[in-house]
């Protein structure tokens, strides 16, 4: 299926590794020029952007930006707009997932997780939406949430689950305000996704087999599969998706 995305421009936060890398690849496969936002692993991210450019014949570039700092966000948006002429897609994917129980958690750690996983998407979405609307264009914002926004299966992630639950409601609130102005807003809730960074953990002591038992489809998702869903939702084939957060957990929320 031709999704009609060729020549579009997307910002993908955290788009150089993990789920973000899968999203960047799927968009590049569809002819989208991807601006990858990163905070760490500069060399790896730049190499990945070049790989996507060479493989798919698109123009992928990288931008250092702390998504909790408005000055850095503004600078990135200005740079991307200047290079590509505008922004069509924003994927709020960057996030952190530390483990620490609430009663022992330093207050600043709570604030940091909320800042990165919830406030960052707000700050970016507002600015990108303004850019799209002011240019008289249409666009799509995708917020990567988590199955943990709906269930608390393990202790130690109170800040994370709270931020992701807030992101689901932010998706609804933003969509209510800007969909009629030409910008759709959709969320995704992945479950367990297989990425190189966590492969060693899953292979240890049969842990993967135990987790697979909790997934009705019988396997972990691959990062690029999350990307395929993002690409579809960003396309003209999905015009009535807005203000909702979709379950793509392989059935873990049944």
* Positions in the chain whose pLDDT score sits under 70: 196-201, 203-205
3-state SS, residue 13: strand
Per-residue pLDDT of 203-253, as tens digits, reads 666 777 888 888 999 988 999 999 999 999 999 999 999 999 999 999 999
Domains and CATH numbers, the chain: 9-248 (3.40.50.720)
pLDDT for 26 equals 98
pLDDT for 207 equals 76
pLDDT for 5 equals 98
Phi, psi of 126 (to 5 degrees): -60, -45
- Say how far apart CA 184 and CA 239 lie, in whole Å: 8
Q: Which of 63, 84, 160, 228 is catalytic?
A: 160
Catalytic (active site) residue 160: yes
pLDDT for 2 equals 86
This prediction has a pTM of 0.95
pLDDT for 195 equals 80
Q: What percentage of the chain's residues is helix, strand, coil (to nearest 5)?
A: 50, 15, 35
């Amino acid at each position: 299926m031709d999704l009609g995305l060729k020549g579009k421009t997307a910002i993908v936060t955290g788009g150089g590794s993990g789920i973000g890398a899968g999203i960047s690849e799927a968009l590049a496969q569809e002819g989208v020029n991807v601006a990858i936002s990163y905070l760490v692993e500069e060399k790896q991210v730049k190499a990945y952007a070049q790989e996507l450019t060479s493989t798919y014949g698109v123009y992928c570039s990288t931008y250092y930006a702390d998504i909790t700092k408005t000055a850095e966000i503004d600078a990135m948006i200005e740079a991307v707009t200047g290079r590509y002429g505008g922004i069509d897609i924003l994927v709020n994917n960057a996030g952190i997932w530390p483990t620490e129980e609430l009663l022992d958690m330093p207050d600043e750690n709570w604030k940091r997780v909320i800042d990165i996983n919830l406030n960052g998407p707000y700050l970016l979405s507002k600015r990108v939406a303004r850019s799209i609307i002011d240019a008289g264009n249409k666009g799509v914002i995708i917020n990567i949430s988590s199955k943990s926004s709906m269930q608390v299966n393990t202790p130690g992630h109170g800040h994370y689950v709270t931020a992701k639950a807030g992101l689901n409601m932010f998706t609804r609130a933003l969509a209510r305000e800007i969909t009629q102005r030409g910008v759709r807003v959709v969320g995704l809730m992945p479950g367990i996704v297989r990425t190189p960074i966590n492969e060693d953990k899953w292979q240890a002591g049969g842990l993967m087999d135990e987790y697979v038992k909790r997934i009705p489809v019988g396997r972990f998702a691959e990062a690029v599969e999350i990307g395929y869903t993002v690409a579809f939702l960003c396309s003209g084939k999905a015009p009535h998706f807005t203000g909702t957060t979709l379950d793509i957990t392989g059935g873990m929320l049944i």
